[in-house]
Amino acid sequence: MKKLIVFLLCIPSILFPNDQKVPSKIKAVTVYLSGAQITRTASCALKEGSNKVVFTGLSHKIDESSIQVSGLDAVSILSIAYNINYLEKSESNPQVKEWEDRIKALEHQIALLKNRIHGLEEEEKVITTNRMVSTDTQALNLEKVKEISQYYRERITAIKDEVFETNLEIDALKMEVKMLQKQLAEANGALEEEQGEITIKFDAPKATNLMMTLKYMVNDAGWVPNYDIKSTELNAPLSLAYKANVYQNTGQDWNKVNVVLSTGNPDYNISKPKLDARYLNFTTAYSRRYSPSQKKKGYAFNPSVKKVAGTVTDASGQPLPGVNIVIKGTNKGTQTDFDGNYSLEVPYGQELSFSYIGMIGQDIPLYSSIINLSMEEDAQRLEEVVVTAYGSQSGNLTGAVSSINPEQLLQGRPAGVRIRGVGSPSLRGPKIRYQEPAPLYIIDGVPVDGFVEGDLDASEIQNVDILKGSDATALYGSRAATGVILITTKKSNTKEGATKTEFVIKKSYSIPSNNDITAIEINTFRLPATYEYFAAPIINENVFLTASFTDWEKHQLLPGEANIYFEGTYAGKTVLDPYTTKKEMVLSLGIDTNITITRKQERNFKSKSFTGNNRILNRTYNLEVKNNKGVAIDLKLVDRIPKSQDKEIKVDDVVTNNATYETKKGLLTWTMNLKPLESKTEHFSFQVKYPRGKYISL
C-alpha cells in the first residue's frame, strides 16, 4: 500500500517532467497604427530531454498565431499553446498599498488627537469639581478668590482653545482619509484583468540555460499622429512638431520600454487582389442605387475622439445639406445643415458612414475630431435621381533667429564658429568647431558649457539656428555676447522599410494599460513657408491667412489633428491630411477680420430673358476687397464660372477682366497687393443658355 501511494505521488512528475513557471520582462514594444508587437526576454534552465515551460503574467489579448520564439540554440520546440488564466489576476494598482498604509497612519494620528481631547476634557472636569469642593468646605478671603478665579479662567480657556484647534486638525485628517478612501474605492472597483499564459514544450539535447526572446502581437493598442505647428511671425519658417498619441489597454503596463512607432497596420488583409472577367447582365435599379460605400484606407482609429464635427461638400466645393452621417453599426447619426456642417457625439463606434443620394457613400475611421469630406457623384445612381433646384515658444525674435541647414552655418556665423563636413561624400554631415571666443550653445533648450567638436554627432542634429546681437544677450545675458547656436536634436531615428516606416524613439517610456494617451515626440522639423491671405467669397466671405510648404513627403506624415499657433497665440485646430494633398500643403493660420470682402450680383434688367426656345441668364458679379490693416498685404482671391456638362446648356460671353482664368475648372484667380486702408473692386460676367421649361441652379 505504501509503495502504491508513493507511485501515485510520482505520476505528475512522470507525465509532466521539469514543469516550471517562468516570469519575463518587456524589453521593447513596436506600436502599429492598430495593435502592437511585444518583445519579452526570459531566462530559464532546461534539463536534458523534454521540458514544459509556462510564461506567466502576459496580456490576455495576444494573437496566438503571431507568437515567435528566438534564442534557442540547439533546443527545439515540440509545441506552443496560449491560454488565459482566469484564476490569477493581474497585479493591482501599485499605489493601492501606499494609499492603504497612509489611511492607517492617518487613522492612528486621529486616534491620538482624540485621546488628547479626552485628556483635556478630564482635566476640565477635575478643575470644575475642585472648584466646587473648595468653595463649599472653607471660607476664602477676597485675594484668594481672585487668584483661584484667574487660574480657573486662564486654564479653562486654554483647554477650550486646545480642544478647538485639535478638532480642526482632526477634521483636516478625516478629509484626507475620505479622499484616499474614494481613490481606493475607485481603484478596487476597476475590473481586474485575467492573465495570459504561453506554454512551450522544449526538447533539449543537454542541460542548458536559455536566454530567450518572446514576441507576439496584442490587440487594443495603437498610436495616432498629432501635430503642433508654430509660426512666430509672417514669412518666418514653420516649426512642425510630429507627435504620437499612444494608447493601450492590453491588461499589462509597459514600464520603461524601448518604443518603436510603425506606420504599418497588421490588421489589413495582405492577400493580393484577383481580377477576373466581368459579365454584364440585367439588374435592378435598387442594386445600382445602393451600391457599397467606399472605405478610406490608411486612416487610423483614434480612441480619444468623443465628438466629431466637419463640413461635407461636393467636388466643386459647394456645401451639401442633408447628408446622412451614421456611426457605423448603429442607428445613431445626424445630417448636415444647409451650410454642409455637422456635429456628432461619438461615445462608441470606430467609423462614420456618409451617404447622399447621387453620391458615392464613404466609410471613414474616426481618426480626428475634425473630419471634412468631399463627396463624388455616382454616375450609376444619377441615372435614377431627379434633382430639383431650390432657386436662385512665445516671444518675437524678428531678425534675430535665422533657420538654416547645418551646411549653411558658414554664412552669417557668429565670431569664432566654423563648420566642416566629415566622412565619405555619401555620408558627409556637419561637425561644429569653434575658435576662441566661443559662442553659447543651447541644445534642446539647455545651455551647454564647454561644447567641443565631437560632443554631438552630426547625425543627431535636426535643426541649427543662429541668434546674434542684442537679441541674443537680451535672452541669455553676457554669455551670449559672441552669439548663440541653437541646436535641436532628433528625438527618433527613421527606418525606411519596403512596406512601412518605423520611428525608433531614443527615450524609453512607461505606458500604463488604462487607455489614456501617452504623448511621444517623434521629431521637430523646420519648414520654409510661403504666407498669403486667401479668400473664396462664393463659399465663405472670411479672409484666411495661410502658410504653404513643400517637401513634406520626406517626413512620412500621416493624417492627424494639428494644433496651430501663430505669433505665440493658439490659433485653432485643423487636420493635416497628406493623402489628399498633391504637392503643396496649405495650412490655415486663422481668420483676419481686418480684411473684408463682399460679393454682389448686378441686376441687368435690359437683358432678354428668352430667345426662341432658349432661356438666357446674364450674370455679373462685383467683388469688393478692403484692407483695414495698418500694413500692406498680399491677397489671393478666387471665384468661378460654372461649367456645362450637358450640350443643351451653353456658357458663353465669359468676361474675366483682370483674373487669371483656368478654363478646365472655370476658376478665376486674382493676385493683388493692397496698401493700408486701400479698397479694390474686381468683376466678372458670363451668360448661360438652356432650353425653356428646364431648370438649372447657378
Mean pLDDT by runs of 10 across the 698 residues of the chain is 49 52 91 93 91 90 90 90 76 68 90 88 80 52 75 84 89 89 69 79 91 92 92 88 92 91 75 70 52 66 88 85 90 89 89 89 89 81 41 38 43 44 40 61 82 72 81 79 83 77 91 88 89 91 89 84 90 83 82 92 66 84 94 93 89 92 92 94 92 81
- Who's near 156: CB < 8 A, 6+ residues apart? 124, 127
Distance CA 24, CA 212 (A): 9
Looking at residue 454, its pLDDT comes to: 65
Looking at residue 416, its pLDDT comes to: 46
Looking at residue 558, its pLDDT comes to: 86
Pairing state of beta strands 429-434 and 518-527?
unpaired
| Cα–Cα distance list, 45 to 23, 67, 75 (Å) | 12, 21, 12
Q: Three-state SS for 9?
A: helix
- 657: cell is 477682366
Contact of 78 with 50, CB cutoff 8 Å: yes
User: For 187, which DSSP code?
Assistant: H
Phi, psi of 347, deg, nearest 5: -70, -15
- 649: cell is 446648356
Pairing state of beta strands 492-496 and 501-505?
antiparallel
Looking at residue 399, its pLDDT comes to: 38
Distance from the first to the final alpha carbon of the chain: 103
Instruction: Give the CA radius of gyration of the chain.
Output: 38
Distance CA 216, CA 42 (A): 14
| Nearest partner of 621 among 668, 585, 664, 665, judged by Cα | 668
Distance CA 36, CA 265 (A): 9
Phi, psi of 220, deg, nearest 5: 60, 45
